[in-house]
Amino acid sequence: MIKGRVAGTTLFMVIAVMAVQILAQQDEVPILRPTKPLARPASATLLVMCDLACNWKLDGEAKGSIDAGGSAKVKAELGQHLVVAATTDGVDQVQQFSEIKATGQTIVTIELKPVRNARLEAQLVAKEEAARMQDLRDHAGDRLKEGLALYGLKRYEEARPLLQKACDGGAMDGCNSLGVLFENGQGVSEDFAQARILHQKACDGGEMDGCADLGGLYLLGLGGPKDELQARELFQKACDGEGMMGCAGLGAFYESGRGVPKDYSQARTLFQKACDGGEMVACDKLGGIYYQGLGVKRDYAKARMLAKKACDGGEQSGCDHLRNMP
């Protein structure tokens, strides 16, 4: 009996120890717990307002329309968003970046009125400018004629605004004549640089006397660098375009041999062309060739006739030479 109890007690103890060991082993295994669901991105409400009736988009996605002074709400995630709104006619548009930094409501105000007003103002200015330019073009000829008449009367200050309007209206002779005023300081302060600009505009616009006048400024180095080659090319262009001042200037190059071989025959041809075309200084220069017998038989009678023609035409040098001739 005693042995049986001992055996039973021992068995009980063994079982108890084994149970403790099993429990100990179970404690070493990680305990599995339910996982938490992933957090959703924080979101907020975006309130968009338009001062004019508009259609709008959020990050490129159309969101519908908003009445003038009205608003619309959408859910939006935190971060930067692009709101684009356009007037219902699609003419005026505003885009605006909005940074949503916290949950709750973020307000975006789209102001389309300033954009529309600026456009309408620009259109009005453009329309007025177009009307002004049309008026200048329509009356350029009349203003040129009146301006030149006043210039002939030496009323330079009155001539200047008329010549300016003629120039602005596309009358290139007006530009060139205005350049002459600046070149001579007539009715304005002498300004050779401005004269160059005006003569250049006239020349580019097909006014050959403008090319010749510009060539003269290059020849003398007035209002900019001196450039005899450029001057000669401008005289050639003018002469080729039947600008008699250009022929006279080109003839002077051949007479003097500046930048070209001296050629009295060519000079005489050019002076004759210019004189026949009404350029009195060329008549005087041609008279000088005959007076001195440069490349031609000396002819005092012809020289005197040409000097008189120049003098009668208002060329002072012709008058001076006529007085000194035998």
pLDDT single digits (tens) 18-29: 544 544 455 454
Q: What percent of the chain clears pLDDT 70, i.e. is strictly above it?
A: 87
Quickly state the pLDDT bin for 12 (edges 50, 70, 90). Answer: very low
- Tell me: pLDDT of 243 over 90: yes
Q: What is the DSSP string of 92-143?
A: -EEEEEEEE-SSSEEEEEE--HHHHHHHHHHHHHHHHHHHHHHHHHHHHHHH
- Tell me: pLDDT of 299 over 50: yes
Tokens of 296: 């031609």
Quickly state the pLDDT bin for 43 (edges 50, 70, 90). Answer: confident
* CA neighbor of 148 nearest in space, from 171, 170, 180, 177: 177
pLDDT value of position 25: 52
pLDDT single digits (tens) 255-270: 999 999 999 999 999 9
- Which residue ranges form the domains of the chain, and what is each CATH number? 44-112 (2.60.40.1120), 122-242 (1.25.40.10), 244-326 (1.25.40.10)
The length of the chain is 326
Q: Which of 13-27, 46-60, 66-80 has the lowest mean pLDDT?
A: 13-27
pLDDT value of position 21: 53
Q: Is 0.85 surpassed by the pTM of this model? A: no
Q: Which strands, in side-by-side order, build the sheet including 105-110? A: 71-77, 43-50, 105-110
- Tell me: pLDDT of 326 over 70: yes
Mean pLDDT of the chain: 89
CA distance 279 to 319: 15
Quickly state the pLDDT bin for 5 (edges 50, 70, 90). Answer: very low
* Mean pLDDT calculated for residue range 80-102: 95
Quickly state the pLDDT bin for 42 (edges 50, 70, 90). Answer: low
pLDDT value of position 107: 93
pLDDT single digits (tens) 161-174: 999 999 999 999 99
Phi/psi-derived region of residue 257, left when phi > 0, alpha when psi is between -120 and 50, beta in every other case: left
